[in-house]
Amino acid sequence: MTVKVTVTGAAGQIGYALLFRIASGQLLGADTPVKLSLLEITPALKAAEGTAMELDDCAFPLLRGIEISDDPNKAFDGASVALLVGARPRTAGMERGDLLQANGGIFGPQGKAINDHAADDIRVLVVGNPANTNALIAQSAAPDVPAERFTAMTRLDHNRALSQLATKLGVPVTDIKKMTIWGNHSATQYPDLYHAEVGGKVAAEQVEEAWLRDTFIPTVAKRGAAIIEARGASSAASAANAAIDHVYDWVNGTPEGDWTSAAIPSDGSYGVPEGIISSFPVVSKDGKWEIVQGLEIDAFSRERIDASVRELVEERDAVKELGLI
């Protein structure tokens, strides 16, 4: 059956890197035909039309139609996957409250439109920043959708961590298992090498402690800024790639003996307050994310997880105060 996939911010740079991969079958698998729904703000509809023309010109065998709209109620109608990419970026001099308020004006109405019009099996991935809190805003506007269907993307951070460690040890990324990003998709995130394994042995024991603490963690956490510095624009193709990875694993399951990272609503595991959309080590089974249980958290990791979760709690409290959730 054809699956409708809605992408917001479809005319933006991540949208451009994402739509062709969805249409080629990489999001859901090579057996699933897709219909694309592109949501944009009115001034960007023309650019979205241009992208749609290019999609047509690829003659993708799995692409069964493209819709373009500036109305969330239409764009999410019947959607089974929603990739919420378009967001209000922070501009110079903007306070956090203004940023959250502006994004509340986007993710609140989109959450409501998903609630009212999406298919029963809707799965939502929020990419637009601040992703974890935007996901919380959308979720709270969609009381009829099971809460766990709202997730935020930390898969790019996860992939960055895999790549940094693989380069350090001179191994292929496929040798690394059980990488985890904990917390917020922000500079406070904690990429954890104490549970990651390389060739079946604990990763933290194969690198110097100083490298782990002073190079690896900040390099992964600040990679987004380093990309902007080098490229003059923020990560786009790698962000699109991570969105593909996240949804593909969610729908098709994670490989046996491994896990991945995704920001999902906390059930209270690892001391993360219930309801907060925080990144955890997760597996996907039968189309559902499950938090990997029973990991021992040492004092070093505890401190870092707590710091990132504290930031998420502050963001949650701020959007509550603004009446956005």
Query: Would you name the residues annotated as active-site residues?
Result: 185
Q: How far apart are the C-alpha atoms of 210 and 195, rounded to whole Å? A: 17
Q: What six digits make up the tokens of 110?
A: 């989109």
* Residue 127 is a binding residue for ligand NAI (CB under 6 A): yes
* Residue showing tokens 């406070």: 188
For residue 183, the 8-state DSSP code is: B
First to last CA, the chain: 35
Task: Confirm whether residue 13 is marked as ligand binding.
Answer: yes
With respect to ligand NAI, which residue has the nearer C-beta, 43 or 172?
43
* Residue 85 is a binding residue for ligand NAI (CB under 6 A): yes
Candidates 147, 236, 295, 313: give the one binding ligand NAI (CB under 6 A). 236
Candidates 3, 5, 7, 14: give the one binding ligand NAI (CB under 6 A). 14
Question: Cβ 184 to ligand NAI, closest distance in Å?
Answer: 10
Task: Confirm whether residue 9 is marked as ligand binding.
Answer: yes
Question: Cβ 152 to ligand NAI, closest distance in Å?
Answer: 7
Instruction: Choose one: 33-41, 163-171, 300-308, 314-322; the region binding ligand NAI (CB under 6 A).
Output: 33-41
Q: How far apart are the C-alpha atoms of 151 and 165, rounded to whole Å? A: 26
Task: Confirm whether residue 155 is marked as ligand binding.
Answer: no
Q: What burial class does residue 225 get, using C-beta atoms within 10 Å of its C-beta: 0-12 exposed, 13-18 middle, 19+ buried?
A: exposed
Name residues contacting ligand NAI, limited to 95-124 (CB under 6 A): 106
Size of the site for ligand NAI (CB under 6 A): 27
Candidates 28, 39, 161, 217: give the one binding ligand NAI (CB under 6 A). 39
* Residue 239 is a binding residue for ligand NAI (CB under 6 A): yes
Distances (CA, A) of 96 to 90, 100, 308: 8, 6, 16
Question: Cβ 72 to ligand NAI, closest distance in Å?
Answer: 7
Enclosing H/E stretch for 242: helix 237-252
Q: What six digits make up the tokens of 319?
A: 């959007």
* Residue 324 is a binding residue for ligand NAI (CB under 6 A): no
Instruction: Choose one: 10-18, 55-63, 191-199, 267-275; the region binding ligand NAI (CB under 6 A).
Output: 10-18
* Residue 237 is a binding residue for ligand NAI (CB under 6 A): no
Candidates 5, 52, 82, 87: give the one binding ligand NAI (CB under 6 A). 87
Residue 127, helix vs strand vs coil: coil
Contact 195, 305 (CB under 8 A): no
Q: How far apart are the C-alpha atoms of 178 and 194, rounded to whole Å? A: 10
Other CB atoms within a 10 A radius of the CB of residue 112 amount to: 18
Question: Cβ 17 to ligand NAI, closest distance in Å?
Answer: 8
Q: How far apart are the C-alpha atoms of 188 and 221, rounded to whole Å? A: 7
Q: How far apart are the C-alpha atoms of 320 and 32, rounded to whole Å? A: 39
* Residue 138 is a binding residue for ligand NAI (CB under 6 A): no
Q: How far apart are the C-alpha atoms of 211 and 123, rounded to whole Å? A: 38
Helix axes 237-252, 13-23, angle to 10 degrees: 40
* Residue 131 is a binding residue for ligand NAI (CB under 6 A): yes
Site of interaction with ligand NAI (CB under 6 A): 8-9, 11-15, 39-41, 44, 85-87, 89, 106, 127-129, 131, 153, 156, 185, 234-236, 239
List, as residue ranges, the binding site.
Answer: 9-15, 90, 96, 103, 110, 127-129, 160
Which residues belong to the annotated binding site for substrate? 90, 96, 129, 160
